[in-house]
Structure formats: structure tokens, C-alpha cells
Structure 1
Amino acid sequence: MTDTPTSTRNLDRYGTAELPWSRALDILTADTPTADLTFFVATVRPDGRPHTAGVGAVWVDGALYFKGGPGTRRSRNLAANPACSVSVRLRGLDLVLEGEAHRVTDSSTLERVAAVYRTGGWPVSVEGDAFTAPYSAPSAGPPPWHLYRLTLHTAFGVASAEPHGATRWDFAR
């Protein structure tokens, strides 16, 4: 669970207070998967070059989940190096999440996350240890799709609406 940061640092240079993590958490919880949000996952290629791809992600039970076909660049990168970052523009808050993403294969988590995706309109089902559906974003590759859970290490938020501010949140590793 990532409900409570272990430390917080105010990054704002204009005298505003640090932002509470609850602001980001409340928006993630309320807006995924029903709001029109595009998350961008950045991974590292074996040669060290970055790779970024837009993904459909959902916040479930205190964690961010996203998918990718086994042949996609992001899945191949994560298999070799789980370090990644995920960026998203939320209502009034730009958010960057940093950590490690690992494949989820247990059926109870797959079913729970699939149910959340379905509330957003994607008719996904669990088949074995992966997802399948009649369609997905082209960047996900063909089915089946692997599910990944981000283990959050650090997050950065910059508020674009009142109350403004910029904050870094660190989480236990």
C-alpha cells in the first residue's frame, strides 16, 4: 500500500505549502478508470536509451496497474529492468510516479483489476495469467496482455489549480 509517504519535501519556490499526498491519491482513486486519462510509462532499454509509451492505467487498492503485450518494447524492457516512471496529468495536478513495475500473475489480483477496467468500459477478461479482450490500444500489442503493478518509490506533484505548489513524496522501499 502506498497510502502514506515516509517523507515529504516541498519543492515550491513561491512560498506555498507542500501538497498533501491525499490530493493525488483522491484524484487517482476517483478518476481511474472512468476519466479520460493517458498515462505515460517510461522504461529503460537494454542499451540505456529511454522508451516511453502511452498506456491505460488504473489505481486499485493503493497501487497503479498498467498492461502491455509480451512483445512490446515496454514489456521487454521491464523484464530486463523493472525501473520505470509513470506520468499523468490529473485534474489540477501533474503527477510523476517512480518505482519498479513487476508482472502480476495471481488470479485474484488479475480479476480485481480487470473488474476495475470493465467499469471504465474496456471489456477485459482474465485468461490464464494475462488479460484478453476484443480490442485494446494499438500500443499494447496483440493479446494476451500482461498486467504490471508499480511499486512506488517516489512521486512528484505540481499543482496546476489552487492550492498551487510542488511536492516530492518518498515511500518505503
Structure 2
Amino acid sequence: MTTGQIDDRFGDPTAAAPSWESVEALLNRAELYWLTTVRADGRPHVTPLVGAWSDGRFAFCTGVGEQKHVNLQHSPLVAVTTGSNGWKSGTDVVVEGTAQRVTGRERLRPLAEAWWRKYGDDWAWDADDEGFAGGDGSRPWVYVVPPAKVIAFGKDPHSQTTFRP
């Protein structure tokens, strides 16, 4: 990512832009994310989910019967958010991009390992050529979101910084 561009219209004029490294560290550490997809009729669908920041992209999975999967068949445009709900502390991050399905055992195995390193046995997946495979028989598809734009919202002082590839 490039150096962030702080937008002085939306924050304290004394605020400084965070480094991309600090924003990426936050994306990597986050335990919970919120995924926004778009239904066929244009209504948004927002859901919390686990995921992994891997190789500069957000990765997530979804069952083929879930609403987010149905929505992605209509439109792959998504927003991913994470942060905290405090007003005076932390940083919130929004990643905008296009979800891309990942297939092939050689591409999926490192993502399954990233889930295990982050969440342990709670989210231990095997990988095959089509997606993840769970011990309970689940077969979620896996997607990555290369960022088209990342916005970091600082809270102390308040600021808005945009990063683009």
C-alpha cells in the first residue's frame, strides 16, 4: 500500500496519519471482522465473522447456503470493517474491495494454516481443491479481498486516513 493520505476535513488538525504497517498490524490482530455484502435487490447485508489478513489481503469463508455466499454470486463488491466501539480510543479500519474465490489445495492450505494459527482448534480447517473441509462435514468456500481502498479512523485524536494500492 502507499503512504496514507490524511483528510483534514474529518478530524483534528493535529492528527498524524498512521503508518500502513500499524494499520496492517491491526488487521492482522483483529479477532472479529464485519463483512458487508449486497443483496440482489440492493439492500446491504452485514454479518460478523472470523477471518485472516494474509499476504496483504483479507481472507474469509462462507457456507454455500449462507446469505453472504448468495450475495457474492450477485455482486463481489464488499466492505470489511474491524476496530472497537469506543469513542476515544483505538482505530477502526474499513477495507473496500472485490471478493475473489480461492481454489486449489496449494493456495488454500496456507489460508487454513493462518486460521489455525489465529484461532486454534476452534477454526481448524483442512483444505482441498474446492475450499475448506471441516471435521463436521462442512465445505465452505474461501474468498480473499485485495484492498482497493483502506480507510483508518483514528479516535484520539480523531482522524481519517485513506490508503490505496
If the length of structure 1 is used for normalisation, what is the TM-score? 0.80
Matches within 5 A, 1:15-94: 15=13, 16-29=15-28, 31=29, 37-89=31-83, 92-94=90-92
- What amino acid is aligned across from residue 59 of structure 1 in structure 2? W
Partner amino acid, structure 2, of 1:103? R
Structure 2 residue aligned with 1:10: 7
Runs of 4+ more than 6 Å apart: none
SS in 2 for 1:112: helix
Q: CA deviation at 1:165?
A: 4.1
Counterpart amino acid of 2:68? Answer: R
Match of 2:134 in 1: 133
Match of residue 147, structure 1, among 131, 142, 148: 142
Paired letter, 2:98: E
TM-score, length basis structure 2: 0.84
More helix by share: 2
Query: d(CA) in 2 for partners of 1:160 and 1:108?
Result: 40
Distance in structure 2 (CA, Å) of the matches to 1:63 and 1:149:
6
Deviates most, 14-23 or 64-73: 14-23
Q: Residue 6 of structure 1: CA displacement?
A: 6.8
Q: Please name the residue that 1:171 is paired with.
A: 164
User: Contact conserved, 2:12 with 2:159, CA < 8 A, in 1?
Assistant: no
The 1:87–1:102 alpha-carbon spacing in structure 2 relative to 1, beyond 3 Å, is same
| Residue in structure 2 matched with residue 108 of structure 1 by the alignment | 106
Rounded to whole Å, the distance in 1 between the matches of 2:25 and 2:33 is 17
2:151 aligned residue:
156
Question: Contact 1:154 / 1:168 at 8 angstroms: preserved in 2?
Answer: no
SS in 1 for 2:2: coil
Unaligned runs of 5+ in 2: none
CA RMSD in angstroms comes to 2.1
CA deviation vs aligned residue, 1:61-91 (integer Å, no higher than 9, x gap) = 1111001011111111112111110111169
Supply the distance in 2 between the matched residues of 1:93 and 1:134 (Cα, whole angstroms). 36
Count of residue pairs brought into register by the alignment:
156
SS in 1 for 2:83: strand
Offset at 1:101?
0.6
Runs of 5+ consecutive residues of structure 1 not aligned to the other structure: 136-141
Identity %: 24
Alignment of 1:117-128 (within 5 A): 117-119=115-117, 120-121=119-120, 122-128=123-129
1:97 maps to amino acid: V
Q: Is the 8 A contact 2:4 2:19 kept in 1?
A: no
